[in-house]
Chain A
């Protein structure tokens, strides 16, 4: 993209970010504007690059686990899950039934927490501050539950190879049940406050449309591709843990606009509530960690890829082993990065006021985009 336009034209450049209140982290979007209409956009990432993949090559498998917490910091449980299962898959470690169930509960709670942030920031981007605080109030309760179970509020490292670090504390299930009942009522309130609001609908319907073929060609996943009407979800397409025994739907959108993506996330929260209910009603008894595998060596030359459905889409870990206790190569398939790569295509022709809205609807977390 040409950075400077001729003095006669009415076009001008604007650097949105990396210090901008609504770029969802450190992200720079160089916009070429004609008045308020975006003609061209150039995303620039890398401001939060911490070379997680390279650091992982110099650490043992267990030492890599805390790094994964810091990838997508609003979905640390999901990252732990993806990494732990990738290693278990490669090393052939079995997991007790109770640990599987608890992993599902945690992953789904974290999905709700992550979607709450997404919904709240959607509110913030159209100037509805109230919903943002409501969403954070609910998220806080989930973080309290996580804190009781794992000891951490944001970075948990709760899962271990072969199970989870410790069983749920006494009374945790009752608290979780209480939260779910309360949360279901609150959801209706949020729907009326934002998603069903005529102003919000006017702002988002028909904005930032992603066509199904565009989504597929970019390799999008998660609510972004489901918003365009493609029911792709790793939990259904390639079930892991106990997801094949659970009853839940894959909500999809119709037009692939900002509103559809927000609504898909909203409905996914409902589905997550449904999943957690089913799991906690039939929680198996027994141990959560048979034998903690502290020292793991994966067979030489073995490469394995394992992906889970994170709130942002298909989060995958590729591990290539050279037979030592450290991964020779660890590659993270970051859904936020893949989804964000569409921004240039979908932002063209929209108004400046819609840029944060469209960006927010892709729900990027820059810890994961830059890795």
Chain B
């Protein structure tokens, strides 16, 4: 691939990626509100557009008009940069997500590693936001982020590793191709559970939304943010959630494989079902406490995923299958 081709592909992918992410986030936000309303026996948004479908656009317009407030004593540079540090890595993941056998922006051998490692950078953004805000609530939230990140990343990587081991490759499209007849979720249910819940933790979703924790930390690390800067955090987290569901669908649910419908549709349907599941959890379960989650992660999830990885390796060696 020449440099000009890479640039062309990159900018096209960025365009398509941002459009896709933007549209899916707006729809997802509306859907989440509607679903939350349904679960809580209320209507949700009803007034802007048909059944409130344009509500998110109205909210974004409102946020665009808001004043940007930088608190006294804040570190201005970090304060302004932090929303982008959260937003950009979350969106970057979409560059390597294949939506079909030949439908991707970039393909390379270690795309799974890229997908798993890049969103971890959002933690720096959150840390920066909490530190730069010069607010104690934000600071506590950002310190929690670090504790949370070191607890979920390891089981997440280990469970993904057992999938890579079974597929014999770190390339996502190879992993999907190996699932043409049998989804990996059936062979690796433990890895799926560990991976999915760690992904929820990565996207700061219920029951792991410690960095937000409105009951004790007001609004967590974005307490001091206003307007579009606040919205960027919001979009970044939604982006991380969408990416996490897409990746889970790809590596556990056979990605784009499915009868009749074209491949991207199948992938999006599978990811959407996982999204609905995560929203369902969000509107039903209470929040864990950060130390409980860390204990659970280190004492249960990590040993479980190591055992799962070893078992997978032994079984594959013993049965003489795989790479």
Contacts and interface: CB of A to CB of B under 8 A. Distances in A.
A325 to B, nearest CB: 48
B121 to A, nearest CB: 25
B173 to A, nearest CB: 38
Nearest to A132: B40
Contacts of B286: 123, 126-128, 194, 197, 199-200, 203
A203 B285 CA distance: 12
Contact of A20 (B218, B285, B289, B291): B218
Given A134-B41, A199-B286, A203-B288, A21 B215 contact: yes
Nearest to A127: B287
Contact of B215 (A33, A194, A356): A356
B95 to A, nearest CB: 33
B292 interface: yes
B283 A129 contact: yes
B289 A353 contact: yes
Contacts of B216: 16, 22, 352-353, 355-356
Nearest to B42: A133
B202 interface: no
Interface residues of A, number: 35
Contacts of B289: 202-203, 351, 353-354
Nearest to B287: A127
Contact of B285 (A14, A22, A36, A128): A128
B137 A14 contact: yes
B287 to A, nearest CB: 4
Interface in B265-288: 283-288
Interface in B291-315: 291-292
B305 to A, nearest CB: 21
B237 interface: no
Nearest to B212: A127
Taking chain A's interface residues, is the majority helix, strand, or loop, or is none over half, making it mixed?
helix
A200 B209 CA distance: 15
B289 to A, nearest CB: 5
Nearest to A357: B215
Contacts of A357: 215
B97 interface: no
A127 B215 contact: yes
Interface in B169-204: none
Contacts of B40: 129-130, 133-134
A283 interface: no
Interface string B13-51: 000000000000000000000001001111000000000
B39 to A, nearest CB: 6
B109 interface: no
A35 B139 CA distance: 10
A290 B206 CA distance: 58
Interface in A118-177: 123-130, 133-134, 137
A193 interface: yes
A199 B41 contact: no
B140 A36 contact: yes
Contacts of A203: 286-289, 292
Nearest 3 CB-CB pairings of A with B: A127-B287, A126-B286, A128-B286
Interface of A: 12-14, 16, 20-22, 33, 35-36, 123-130, 133-134, 137, 193-194, 197, 199-200, 202-203, 351-357
19 contacts: A20-B218, A21-B215, A22-B214, A33-B140, A125-B215, A126-B287, A127-B207, A127-B213, A127-B287, A128-B284, A130-B284, A133-B40, A133-B41, A202-B288, A351-B289, A353-B210, A353-B216, A353-B290, A356-B216
Given A36-B290, A133-B40, 8 more contacts: A14-B136, A22-B216, A128-B285, A137-B41, A199-B207, A199-B287, A351-B290, A354-B289
